[in-house]
Structure 1
């Protein structure tokens, strides 16, 4: 039997959905609709001018349109009647939506015949304003984006690639008519929704809750369900005293920021994102024009540039509202990128490009990082944020943790170098809030810093696929600005929130280290080709800038600043948090592969050209080394591989093969698996007794949800070691190296493993060439290391992060799959090893009991996955991966080996070339970038960091005439010197652990 509370709630829901909301729009006129299906509905988007000149055919409500990813233009004509005292006239134009998932299905953009836009259309924004007594003449560009999320529970779909999506129409035009929006009914709906949401959020025996219930019941009694427009005003009078009750002094305070989180690609291709942004910005500017209460913040300079280029009229409207301060650029980044896998210099360029764009177009330097949806946040980020001119950080995603609840919503976040940034997680637990009573109540009760702090932020507006704030959300904000029992809502900018929050909470607690997301761990591995393309592009850009800067300073060629900037933008876009992580549809990753191939080809040509110019006409072999070691920018000592050395000796035994180069001895058994890697200097074997290294392992990989995103811990419960062998071969190279090649087949796949020992090297180079056709399986390469260690070092931006490898706490146990860049290092006091790689990010490190006492650690690289949603063909096909097992007593050897495997030396014929800059002195530092200044002055920019986690002192030695050196931030603004001194022309850097410094050398 239902209690009174349940009856009231059900009554409200039914009256709202079946009587009040349908009465908001009353039909007063008909429209004529014609349609033009671009290339039969399956064509790519066209310019409005082309669409306006097309031949249209009659179309009626109920007719089908829209094969997946197609475009249909509707021409809508008619006459609007005279003004109606009940409210404004609006067209209701329903493309045939499901009543949910705005941003994930069909959308439209409304144009006037002159090409100017009015607003966007989506399931929560179905109306178009029309002036009364005027002719209607409008065009609607309708995008038939498939509702991929209806595929439940995330089953494989062919809709993610246009070539396989089919030509079946997905939608029917459901409504096209001129209506009156009844103001009193519309406002009554908002009154009831706000008070009903508040009532449901209060305790059952709360007195104010009971008053609300009685008042709502009375208001429903007043409504004549057969004459809703005629009785709406009377019902509102009943509710007015309830809405007039003011909040208590201690009410939680919410800064509501208008927002539309638009994924730059995800379940739609990049080309569709361009249109999504245009539709959303049109909606927002329309709302800004008509409602003074809205303030809207939008991140991602890339999305602004798209609008500027593709929809200049929409951009012009945006610019006017930026000038008024109500359309607020935020975030300071090129895109809302992933932060786990992005390399140090690329992470810096996200801010250099983003802040640079906002400065150039609007004269604005953003102060808040805006990353609500990235999949965890690296410990290297706070320093980068501060050096890019930003002071505050916002995210939401850590609320998705599977096991451990993050203890704070507002705190100081400390990075690996000690830099702190004031950080906020909105306790509303969504970046797409609709400001409902349920969400506001959740924000207030969920806020973990209550008592000590009073403020939180709520980003409101339909997002993921865009749409933005609606006028209904603004109605709720107005009613909850000062309402008893509710959090107090103020619509304002992110900067206003952070100013209040920081002043309110001066002693905010400190969280040191990464913000690890206990979810979506599979994103470190999914779509392996996308990840390989990113890694390769980052390092090619490093080389191109270094050699181009060197050639420019030597007067041999102009610096190709615009070309490099264009290529950086391509790479930065691919780092968006659903592209680089591998969680987008097939279309997105196909285009990413094409983009990376084009970037590589152009950069290789640029590098070859500059190397030829630098080497000149000589006939000597010249080695160009772009690493920070013994080359153009030497920085570290203790080379991993000695130069030269005797040829590797090969001995075949009954048990296998022994390779010896006088530095290490490698033993490989008859199954082609490493059983020993003996360091002759210490007589320590990297491989524990009885264990095998470079062992490929397969696991079933079928997570509970979010296929491309997740790898769940139970994957470890089943494992298959790949020990079967088809062929084993030993080869000797001309340079004295020895290579062991092993061929294996498994399932529907095959792999060629190659292990190479170079003369004089203290490492074993490994590679795999996999023809991968497994499904829902993960392939790992295991390297057991005979050291007793409770932690491991994992490279991140401008340094490394030390993580426990034990599982003492639930926080430790949750890190069963983690991200590293170029190396993972485990060690005892005087001995250790590293596993370095050229294209891998996913790793796991575990501890195991040794039979003879103590423990050893196993480092595993996650090489390939095979999830089936959203791309059912994820990772199918050929993949090549390189990695190395390095004898590394300390982390410096790991750093060096990581650079070398990603930046192999290049050899040309010519004359010796002096480095553009050297790092000298007794200390250790790494040069991450050498380039010319962004302002075109020709000054040389040198980015240097301390990579080992130790204080150091080094000298910077330019190989060219310069007139001065000064410290700048990432944006190349002058800053107060922090470690940089210049005395008698000698440039010295005193660096803290992991400190990042940018030096500007004037020419």
Structure 2
């Protein structure tokens, strides 16, 4: 019997492959082909249509890397095809089986109206007229593969054509044969997921055998219907009543940049959305979910004719905006206010454009999720969260698929993690069977979500997927498939499983840890932009209220959206091609210049006249006589004491802090308050170089075995004293480094300049501290998280590289230390017991990497970093030092004292943002949070008349009125709570 089975299965496979699928298009005639190759960057549609076309033919090469060619296809439907379905079949020469990774096209009619996108899985266009004229804007996007490639930047990609036009025909589409192919495909696929002992498997096998027996391979058109009749009973047998249900929604995850630049994503979005609305016109059952407000804003700007159709489908409830964020951002590295603005700008776009309050946050592909997110999700007006990426964990399998996720402040969000383990579902039986077998909530829940459609590079759902979905809707041996919007799934899943298990804290991805470090200048640009935006809003709001200056609403809105776009999860993490990061560096430079202009104009309006100098402090804490958020005429800082020579090195001593730099240029002693911070026999600010050869994903991964080998950089090229600081220079490999070591306000400051020319290495800066700490505290959005410094469990061991924002703190009762930075995110913290019985806890910053793919020149060149050791630091001191190193004081000519717009009387409460309300009412919006992890009561004092006050959500919508007393607005916060207050100025 088994031999008989193998023969039948082989027969089925061959017949389907060689006879049935090719017979979907039984008749074909060639189309005439003309082409125009656009010089340089893509041109507007009208220009492409009106260009001077020349004759071309199937087989001709086209498309240098990143080029655009416009094809014109013309022909006439043969008269003998009258009454038959006809399609244009166009193959641009696709060299990758999946959409979005090589050549792509968008089809237009002669009037410029878009029809649909072309990709390897959807290369047909339905024809309804006798005379055919179609235009295709074809993108010669290169196939980017490793281990190294010059194709990731037009400056290095060359100009040789990449593709050859492979097919351009008019063809008869035989829908009966097409349906037969899908009948067999679904049944054969399902059969192979069933055990040999399953009666259902043999029922399917025999039904398929009978179908082939009645099918005449020399006359498929005449016998396909009879073959389908033989299969009908097997397809009609329903699933059992309690079968798992896959709520399936059309989807096209489109990376806003990755192996293509931002400008190409604009076209990918146009191609995909054109596909979707075209499919919706043909199939009333299609439901499609699209996240990333930025992508919809792109088509509104660049393809308004497509956007009009999208809005129609949104109004019908079939094109469903989801996500509530400007882009699918990295969820680890954006600062607290930036992450809040992802929701503000995303939610507001969907509200303004479609009148829709999105309730589900959609982040399937980001590289881990911070513990701050649940609170921000709720404060944005959303209530559900979806991710997929945790299925990529390389060590520990995440234990839930439907659960409550509890954030660092205690907020819980109903969360789903689709067990199908992909956001690019194609509805093959292996995928749907895996979803059921993998589902962790068996016995408590019976539903999961399955986003279907081609993604990453776009494409979306196809008619073939819908055909399979229909057959799987209620089919014995398979889970049920129900096409529905995500909100329907979440509502039903929540109702079925309200007592789902709880996961507390961050969703740490046990993979892609190198993304905290790759492309250092992109990360520096983000960090600097976030703090410049804080300053720009603060000083512009202050100047508006105090000096009557205009508030730059439009400019700030545009600049915020630019920064938010670059927080996309393949830009900020450093995992895109060279072109993306080269453009990002230029963009951040422009953002910094424009924000500096805004800041300068506002401060000049505030500084007044006079010959003196006014110091502005944008940090949320007082510094040297200058109040937080205010300005004061300049004080005269004390001159730093000159370092004293000692045993070939130097001593820096300001009376409070004594630091020894030895002859190797390393910090061997840091004494503050009578306690030594550096572990005995160790040296701090030790640069360490490790080989960095990830097992798989170059720019993405750092694997644990990198620690097995390393070099301490202790050789000194020169050491000297400069302006109260010790300057140390070193050479290693092909690189050089200069470090300026000085004393700050209770800190040991290090300014590092590296001319980096290493390959496949990682550079770390180590601070071995004499403190017993079994956990470290790392700043995240609006708070901090604790992580183990030991490896007791596999979960602890997997966190060998961690993400922190401005600071990492380690401590024991009565004493602690922090390492703060101005642009670094990757860290590792370990502890070991010394022979003397003491414990050394080592904090290391990850400064630079040099992966080969997708950018073979990653991080090559000069970099500047600032970081500092804060000995004796509490968590509060770490918070203050972290802000100060990122928000240096600014000076303006003048003599005015600028009183802060607002102040708060608790060190535990941090004012994160001060701005004018987005609705241009003139109200002042203040966002603050509890920063120490405890309860706090405070009063927010407004140094301007206040007529009314209210607590709002992130979108500045009033939640509750606040009482105003003589002292201001009283607030009580739970640990890490974020509060937004809206203050209406009075007379």
Deviation for aligned residue 1:481: 1.1
1:205 aligns with 2:191: no
- Most deviating of 409-418 and 903-912: 903-912
- Corresponding residue SS for 2:258: coil
Which structure 2 residues correspond to residues 840-855 of structure 1 after superposition, within 5 A? 840-855=824-839
Deviation for aligned residue 1:923: 5.3
CA distance in 2: counterparts of 1:423 and 1:108, whole angstroms: 37
- Corresponding residue SS for 1:965: strand
Deviation for aligned residue 1:620: 3.3
**Counterpart position of 1:20:** 20
- Most deviating of 686-695 and 12-21: 12-21
**Counterpart position of 1:697:** 688
**Counterpart position of 1:895:** 879
Which structure 2 residues correspond to residues 928-947 of structure 1 after superposition, within 5 A? 928-947=912-931
**Counterpart position of 2:136:** 140
- Corresponding residue SS for 2:21: helix
758, 761, 771: which one aligns with 2:755: 771
Deviation for aligned residue 1:217: 2.2
588, 595, 598: which one aligns with 2:587: 595
- CA change 1:855–1:36 in 2 (3 A) is same
- Structure 1: segments with no counterpart, 5+ residues: 637-641
Which structure 2 residues correspond to residues 753-772 of structure 1 after superposition, within 5 A? 753-758=739-744, 761-772=745-756
Deviation for aligned residue 1:103: 0.8
826, 844, 849: which one aligns with 2:810: 826
**Counterpart position of 2:506:** 514
**Counterpart position of 2:701:** 710
- CA change 1:488–1:554 in 2 (3 A) is same
Is this contact kept in 1: 2:806–2:821, CA < 8 A?
Answer: yes
Which structure 2 residues correspond to residues 202-281 of structure 1 after superposition, within 5 A? 202-281=194-273
- Corresponding residue SS for 1:963: strand
1:962 aligns with 2:962: no
Deviation for aligned residue 1:9: 3.7
**Counterpart position of 2:30:** 30
Is this contact kept in 1: 2:68–2:139, CA < 8 A?
Answer: yes
Is this contact kept in 1: 2:617–2:627, CA < 8 A?
Answer: no
660, 663, 673: which one aligns with 2:653: 660
- CA change 1:128–1:248 in 2 (3 A) is same
TM-score (norm 1): 0.96
Is this contact kept in 2: 1:280–1:466, CA < 8 A?
Answer: yes
- Corresponding residue SS for 2:622: coil
What number of residue pairs does the alignment pair up? Answer: 979
CA distance in 1: counterparts of 2:627 and 2:438, whole angstroms: 52
Deviation for aligned residue 1:219: 1.7
Which structure 2 residues correspond to residues 405-484 of structure 1 after superposition, within 5 A? 405-484=397-476
Is this contact kept in 1: 2:690–2:763, CA < 8 A?
Answer: yes
- Post-superposition CA distance 1:327-349 (Å, at most 9, x none): 01110111000010000000001
Is this contact kept in 2: 1:481–1:490, CA < 8 A?
Answer: yes
- Corresponding residue SS for 1:611: helix
**Counterpart position of 2:971:** 989
- Post-superposition CA distance 1:899-926 (Å, at most 9, x none): 0000001112223333343333355200
- Corresponding residue SS for 2:89: strand
Deviation for aligned residue 1:962: 1.7
Is this contact kept in 2: 1:633–1:915, CA < 8 A?
Answer: no
1:951 aligns with 2:935: yes
1:719 aligns with 2:703: no
- Corresponding residue SS for 1:960: coil
- Post-superposition CA distance 1:827-866 (Å, at most 9, x none): 0111111000000000000111122103121000000000
CA distance in 2: counterparts of 1:124 and 1:107, whole angstroms: 11
CA distance in 2: counterparts of 1:763 and 1:880, whole angstroms: 19
- CA change 1:550–1:213 in 2 (3 A) is same
45, 63, 66: which one aligns with 1:66: 63
**Counterpart position of 2:632:** none
Is this contact kept in 1: 2:770–2:838, CA < 8 A?
Answer: no
**Counterpart position of 2:127:** 130
Deviation for aligned residue 1:102: 1.1
- CA change 1:922–1:469 in 2 (3 A) is closer
330, 335, 345: which one aligns with 2:322: 330
- Post-superposition CA distance 1:66-101 (Å, at most 9, x none): 111111000111112358588521000000113512
1:684 aligns with 2:668: no
- Corresponding residue SS for 1:164: coil
Is this contact kept in 2: 1:635–1:927, CA < 8 A?
Answer: no
Is this contact kept in 1: 2:942–2:968, CA < 8 A?
Answer: no
TM-score (norm 2): 0.97
Deviation for aligned residue 1:459: 0.4
102, 106, 116: which one aligns with 1:105: 102
Is this contact kept in 2: 1:626–1:633, CA < 8 A?
Answer: no
1:741 aligns with 2:727: yes
- Post-superposition CA distance 1:613-638 (Å, at most 9, x none): 101113333210001012799679xx
- CA change 1:511–1:195 in 2 (3 A) is same
Deviation for aligned residue 1:213: 1.6
Deviation for aligned residue 1:938: 0.9
- Most deviating of 454-463 and 190-199: 190-199
- CA change 1:212–1:812 in 2 (3 A) is same
462, 467, 480: which one aligns with 1:488: 480
CA distance in 1: counterparts of 2:510 and 2:6, whole angstroms: 37
Is this contact kept in 1: 2:617–2:628, CA < 8 A?
Answer: no
721, 737, 749: which one aligns with 1:730: 721
Is this contact kept in 2: 1:130–1:136, CA < 8 A?
Answer: yes
- Structure 2: segments with no counterpart, 5+ residues: 630-634
- CA change 1:575–1:66 in 2 (3 A) is same
